[in-house]
Amino acid sequence: MSQELFVVNNTWMMVSIFLVFAMHLGFATLESGLARSKNTVNILFKNSMILPLGLITYAFWGFSMMYPGAAFEGGFFGFSGFGIPMPEGGETSAYNEGYTFWTDFLFQGMFAATAATIVSGAVAERVKLSSFMIFSLLFVGICYPIVGMWKWGGGFLNALEVPFYDFAGSTLVHSVGGWGALAGILLIGPRIGKFVDGKVKPIPGHSLPLATIGVFILWLGWFGFNGGSVLSADPGAVSRVLVMTSLAAAAGAIGGCFLALILFKSSDLTMVLNGILAGLVGITAGADQMGVVDSIVIGLVSGALVVLGVSLFDKLKLDDPVGALSVHLICGIWGTLAVGLFGSLAGVDQFISQAIGVGVVGAFSFVFAIVVWYVLKVTMGVRVSEREEIEGLDMHEHKMHAYPDINAPGYEMSLLENQPVTTDSRKKAAATV
C-alpha cells in the first residue's frame, strides 16, 4: 500500500472519530430535552462524565479485554495486559492498512462509552448519581469489552460455522445498552406520578427543540459510527454505507410518524425523532450488506417498532423517559436479525447465527447489569428520596439550576454579605453606579 493511501484511510478514520465523539453531545441534548427542566443539569452531568470514564477504563484494561490477540481467538474471554502499549510499527501501515494503533484505540474507545449513555436516559429523573456512575464504570469497563471480544475481538461468535455478523453494533453496542437500561428500570422503578390508579400519565419533556437538535446531531454522528466501521476510506464501501444508513433513518421517521398517526391520531414529533434513531440502530448491524429496498424496509419496520415498543413498555409499567428500550433494545435486536433476512448474507444459517448472538449477548448483558444494579441497591441505594425526585435532582445532586430564574426574589446574592439581595438593596446598588 502506498503511503498516500494509508494517510487517506487514517484521515477518514480520524474524521469518523470526531463524528462519533459528537454523538455524545447528541445523546446529552436529546435526553435533557425529553426530561423535565428540574433534572437537566443531572442528565448533562452524567453524559459529560460517561465519556471520560469510558475512555480511561478503556485505556487501562478495556481495549486489552476486547482485543486480546490471536491467543484468545474462538474463546469467551481474553486479556492481553493493562494499558495500551503500542506494538512495533503501530504508527505505520504495518499495524493495519487502514489506520494506526492510536486511531484504532480512539475509534473503539468512542464506541465503548455509548452503551452506558443509552442507560442514562432510560433511568433519568430518579437514579442516584453516585450509583449510576459506579454502574457505568463497571458496565463500560467490564461488560462491554467482554461481549465485544466475542465478535470483534475474534471470540466464539466470530468462530461459529456461520459467523455472527454485526457490522457496527446493533447488538454489541445498542442492545447491550438496552439490556443494561432494562435491568435498571426494573430495579429502580417508575418515576413518581407516571402510573396512577392503573393508568399511564404522560410526563412530557421540557424542550422538544433540544431533543430535535440532539437527534440531528446523532444522525450526523452516525455517518462516522457506521461509515468509520468500514475501517478504511474505500470510496465504494463508505459511500454505500452512508447511503443505506440515511435511507434507513428516513424510513424510520416515516414509519414512526404514520403508525403514531394511525394509533394515536396525532402527528407526534417524539415518535418521528425516535423513529429516526430506530432506523439508524436497525441498519447498523448490516449497513454494508444491504441494498436500497432492504434498508428502507429495515427502517420502516424499526420506526413502527418504536411506536409499538413505547406502548408496550407503558402497559408493562416500565418507565423509560426517552424511549431507550424501544430504540436501542428492540430495534437493536431487530436490526441484528434482519442481517439474516435481507441483503447479501440473508439465509437460514445466517439467521440462526444472528439469533444465537442476540441471545447470548442479551443474556450476559442483562444478568451482568441486574447483578450490578442489585448490589448497588442493597448497599448504597439506587434511587433518590421522594423529596429529591419531586423537587428535582439538579438542586439536590448538583446545587444548581439549568435555567435559573434571575427575576425570582432572592436569586441575586450580595457579594459582600452573601445574603439575598432585596428590592431596596438593588435600588441602592443601582444608584451608586
Residue span of the structural domain in which 246 resides: 3-387
Range of weakest confidence among 32-46, 341-355, 404-418: 404-418
Mean pLDDT of 221-249: 96
Let me know if residue 363 belongs to a domain: yes
Q: What is the CATH number of the domain that holds 289?
A: 1.10.3430.10
CA 72 to CA 80: how far, in whole Å?
9
Percent of the chain with pLDDT over 90: 84
* pLDDT, mean of residues 366-372: 97
Give the pLDDT confidence score for residue 6 in this predicted structure. Answer: 93
What pLDDT is attached to residue 432? 34
402 within domain boundaries = no
Total number of domains constituting the chain: 1
Domain presence at residue 395: no
- Residues 59-81 have pLDDT tens digits of 999 999 999 988 899 999 999 99
Phi, psi dihedral angles at 164 (to 5 degrees): -60, 140
Distance, in Å, from the CA atom of 154 to the CA atom of 171, rounded to the nearest integer, reads 16
Question: Could you tell me if residue 269 is inside a domain?
Answer: yes
297 belongs to a structural domain: yes
Residue 1: pLDDT over 80:
no
Residues 376-400 have a mean pLDDT of: 93
Is 300 a domain residue? Answer: yes
How does DSSP assign 12-60, residue by residue?
Answer: HHHHHHHHHHHHHHHHHHHHHHHS-GGGHHHHHHHHHHHHHHHHHHIII
Does residue 344 carry a pLDDT above 70?
yes
Q: What is the mean pLDDT of the chain?
A: 91
Residue 429 or residue 316, greater confidence: 316
With cell 418515576, the residue in question is 191
Q: Is residue 433 part of a domain?
A: no
Amino acid 408: pLDDT = 53
- Which of 39, 36, 44 is CA-nearest to residue 214? 44
**Burial class of residue 109, CB neighbours in 10 A (0-12, 13-18, 19+):** buried
In this model, does residue 414 exceed pLDDT 70? no
52: Cα separation from own chain's centroid: 15
Residue 424 lies in a domain: no
How far does Cα 267 stand from its chain's mean position? 26
